[in-house]
Structure 1
Amino acid sequence: MKVRGERECQSCGARWSYYETGSVECPDCGALRSVGVDDRTAHTDAPATLDLTPHRVRFGEARGTLPEEGVDDLKADLREYARKRGFIRGGDLLPLDDTYLAARELLEAVDLYDRLRDPTDRDREYLLALLAGADDGDRPPTEAVPESLREARGMAAVRAVDEYRSDLLAFLDELSATEDGEAADADASAPTVSVDGDDPRSRIDPTRELLERLRDRTKRAEALTGDVPPGDADALVDAADALGDYVRTGDEAALDRARDRLSDAET
């Protein structure tokens, strides 16, 4: 969507950033009548924080299967966080960040772990390592993913890459409507997205081409319900993030990195 990020309350005159609060309600007086005082920009990200401290306390002493009530609460918090997140904020394209990836992987891992008939110590250590670090964006390294839970890594990559790819395509649509720093839409007073560097429109076709390849590789992983080598799953994520870097900066090295990681995912 396109929003005016800087709001002004029509009741008390206070100003605030919609990008920070995600609300048109005045933070000073609570009034719901406000107006935007800047140009519209593309925006898909909502304010969201991930605090897993209560769940770490609950699961820290768990052995074998997890407490059912606790699992449901954890999944609900992770889904709510993922639902709010997007990758365009105030016209800027964001990276595919580690906290979002870790939340996605933990959501998949909890569900998969809970269905294991006889989880091992390694399975439990992996799950608790995810729980310990997800809100700080820390995930176990590729080689630490247990064979019995590798579908969690794979499906987390599928979900995350699909969401990022969708926002990146929307960003490219906005970028293609911009010419010489002016919005192509006569009703708009300024571009709705922004990037660094010269000739940003030259980045659109190479990115779209690689996004098609990325979609194909992601669909293959999804068809296998994520049961792919963890290194292949990580390669999909790295390729998506590198494409975002290329669009933001125009750095050809990022485009080459995306191609290389897609090739890694094909092997």
Structure 2
Amino acid sequence: MEVFIFKDSQQVAEYAADMICNLLDFKSRAVLGLATGTTPIATYEVLINRFRAGQISFKRVTSFNLDEYIGLQSSSPHSYRSFMNKHLFDTIDIDPARTYLPECSPGQDPRSVGPDYEQRIVAAGGIDLQLLGIGGNGHIGFNEPGSSLGSRTRVKVLTQRTFEDNSRLFNEGDFQPHMAVTMGIATILDARRILLLATGEHKAAAIKDTVEGAISAMHPATVLQQHQRVRVILDEAAASQLEHLDYYQWVQLQNDSIAAKHGGSADEDPWFHN
């Protein structure tokens, strides 16, 4: 697990976009795992700007989102399909037919969605880079505390805390789902590379536990410590509770010096090598 600390949320977004663009330079047919929520929006905005400037293309990209609510039509403004269309898909040149979410159509047994989604990911060749946010209780995707560390895509009931955290996105009188279909923890760990983004002081405690705490199903993000290629991208506020902050900053400086001496492109960065 590598920890990168930047001054503010915009620098976090720029770095995350750099990693995605470098991957697409290295592999134009990359499979991206994408996330919703407030944190990745800034990264998507940077990617859109680079697309408009002709610096990047998504024509050959396939994407899989982490999760989707149960009980919302895809056309609902609160669905994650609508979120992705609004904040990324509708503005870039990605083929909509290759943008997947674990959607449960009306009348479909939601328990059937997970196995089908897992098969789609395998058929696409697996996820090359998974983008993650983190909940205040340590959830990744909708894998709430207590989720099996070996879990696969499945139905998950949201905790009261997650439900309340997300309620700000719904208007009074709107239907707010209590359940979602989410990639499992083992599914996330199958990704070849993972970027975990966190910004703001309200994520500081969750980040401290994720980076420095013991691996536990009660804090699902801690399992990322076991992955070979995870980069945790933080602003100063999200990093503020890390006990070993000075060390992570020192490591970052040393790695930057290596990149400056030997090159910082995807070809030279071992994080991009399969």
Which of 1 and 2 has greater Rg? 1
One fold, TM greater than 0.5?
no
Higher helix content, 1 or 2: 1
The structure richer in strand per residue is: 2
